[in-house]
Amino acid sequence: MYMVVTEWKPKPGMRDEFERAGRAVGNLLRKQDGVTMVEVFESGDRVIAAHAYADESTYRRLIHDPEGAFAQAVAENHIEDYGDWVSTISGETVPHN
Protein backbone atom coordinates (compact mmCIF):
# COMPACT_ATOMS: atom_id res chain seq x y z
CA MET A 1 0.00 0.00 0.00
CA TYR A 2 1.21 3.51 -0.78
CA MET A 3 0.50 6.22 1.83
CA VAL A 4 0.48 9.97 1.34
CA VAL A 5 0.18 12.53 4.13
CA THR A 6 -0.35 16.17 3.23
CA GLU A 7 -0.36 19.15 5.56
CA TRP A 8 -2.41 22.26 4.83
CA LYS A 9 -2.94 25.57 6.57
CA PRO A 10 -6.32 27.21 5.94
CA LYS A 11 -5.98 30.85 4.94
CA PRO A 12 -7.13 33.41 7.52
CA GLY A 13 -10.91 33.74 7.47
CA MET A 14 -11.26 30.88 4.97
CA ARG A 15 -11.50 27.83 7.25
CA ASP A 16 -15.15 27.07 6.44
CA GLU A 17 -14.51 27.35 2.70
CA PHE A 18 -11.38 25.21 3.03
CA GLU A 19 -13.28 22.51 4.93
CA ARG A 20 -16.11 22.51 2.36
CA ALA A 21 -13.68 22.25 -0.55
CA GLY A 22 -11.64 19.59 1.25
CA ARG A 23 -14.73 17.47 1.90
CA ALA A 24 -15.73 17.66 -1.76
CA VAL A 25 -12.27 16.63 -2.97
CA GLY A 26 -11.97 13.91 -0.31
CA ASN A 27 -15.39 12.47 -1.17
CA LEU A 28 -14.42 12.25 -4.83
CA LEU A 29 -11.09 10.66 -3.98
CA ARG A 30 -12.77 8.00 -1.80
CA LYS A 31 -14.77 6.87 -4.85
CA GLN A 32 -11.72 6.29 -7.06
CA ASP A 33 -10.70 2.70 -7.80
CA GLY A 34 -7.50 1.89 -5.94
CA VAL A 35 -7.99 4.37 -3.09
CA THR A 36 -8.09 2.39 0.14
CA MET A 37 -8.34 5.17 2.72
CA VAL A 38 -8.87 8.92 3.08
CA GLU A 39 -8.79 10.43 6.57
CA VAL A 40 -8.46 14.05 7.69
CA PHE A 41 -7.63 15.46 11.10
CA GLU A 42 -6.66 18.76 12.65
CA SER A 43 -3.41 19.48 14.45
CA GLY A 44 -3.39 22.99 15.86
CA ASP A 45 -3.96 25.38 12.98
CA ARG A 46 -3.10 22.72 10.39
CA VAL A 47 -5.25 20.21 8.54
CA ILE A 48 -3.64 16.84 7.85
CA ALA A 49 -4.95 14.55 5.11
CA ALA A 50 -3.79 10.93 5.07
CA HIS A 51 -4.70 8.83 2.08
CA ALA A 52 -3.73 5.36 0.93
CA TYR A 53 -3.63 3.73 -2.48
CA ALA A 54 -3.24 0.17 -3.71
CA ASP A 55 0.27 1.08 -4.89
CA GLU A 56 2.40 4.00 -6.04
CA SER A 57 1.40 3.66 -9.69
CA THR A 58 -2.28 4.00 -8.72
CA TYR A 59 -1.45 7.15 -6.75
CA ARG A 60 0.47 8.65 -9.64
CA ARG A 61 -2.28 7.74 -12.15
CA LEU A 62 -5.03 9.31 -10.04
CA ILE A 63 -3.28 12.36 -8.62
CA HIS A 64 -0.82 13.41 -11.30
CA ASP A 65 -3.16 13.26 -14.31
CA PRO A 66 -3.86 16.93 -15.15
CA GLU A 67 -7.09 15.84 -16.91
CA GLY A 68 -8.16 13.39 -14.21
CA ALA A 69 -11.06 13.56 -11.77
CA PHE A 70 -8.84 14.61 -8.85
CA ALA A 71 -7.29 17.56 -10.71
CA GLN A 72 -10.73 18.64 -11.88
CA ALA A 73 -12.15 18.44 -8.33
CA VAL A 74 -9.26 20.51 -6.95
CA ALA A 75 -9.80 23.14 -9.64
CA GLU A 76 -13.61 23.19 -9.38
CA ASN A 77 -13.54 23.50 -5.60
CA HIS A 78 -10.75 26.11 -5.54
CA ILE A 79 -9.10 24.41 -2.57
CA GLU A 80 -5.84 26.29 -3.16
CA ASP A 81 -7.75 29.58 -2.88
CA TYR A 82 -8.75 28.67 0.68
CA GLY A 83 -5.67 26.91 2.04
CA ASP A 84 -1.92 26.80 1.64
CA TRP A 85 -0.19 23.49 1.06
CA VAL A 86 2.60 23.05 3.63
CA SER A 87 4.14 19.64 2.98
CA THR A 88 3.71 16.11 1.67
CA ILE A 89 5.35 12.89 2.77
CA SER A 90 4.71 9.57 1.06
CA GLY A 91 5.94 6.03 0.74
CA GLU A 92 5.19 2.34 0.72
CA THR A 93 3.82 0.96 3.97
CA VAL A 94 5.97 -1.38 6.03
CA PRO A 95 4.78 -5.01 6.23
CA HIS A 96 3.17 -5.96 9.56
CA ASN A 97 4.91 -9.33 9.95
CATH number at 45 reads 3.30.70.100
Q: What mean pLDDT value characterizes the chain?
A: 95
Please check whether residue 24 lies inside any domain of the structure: yes
- Provide the domain count of the chain: 1
A 10 A CB-CB count for 45 gives 9
Q: Name the residue range of residue 29's domain.
A: 2-92
A 10 A CB-CB count for 79 gives 19
Q: What percent of the chain has pLDDT over 70?
A: 100
Please check whether residue 97 lies inside any domain of the structure: no
In DSSP notation, 25-70 reads HHHHHHTSTTEEEEEEEEETTEEEEEEEESSHHHHHHHHS-TTSHH
Please check whether residue 12 lies inside any domain of the structure: yes
Please check whether residue 87 lies inside any domain of the structure: yes
Q: What are phi and psi of 69, to 5 degrees?
A: -60, -40
Please check whether residue 88 lies inside any domain of the structure: yes
pLDDT tens across 24-43, in order? 999 999 999 999 999 999 99
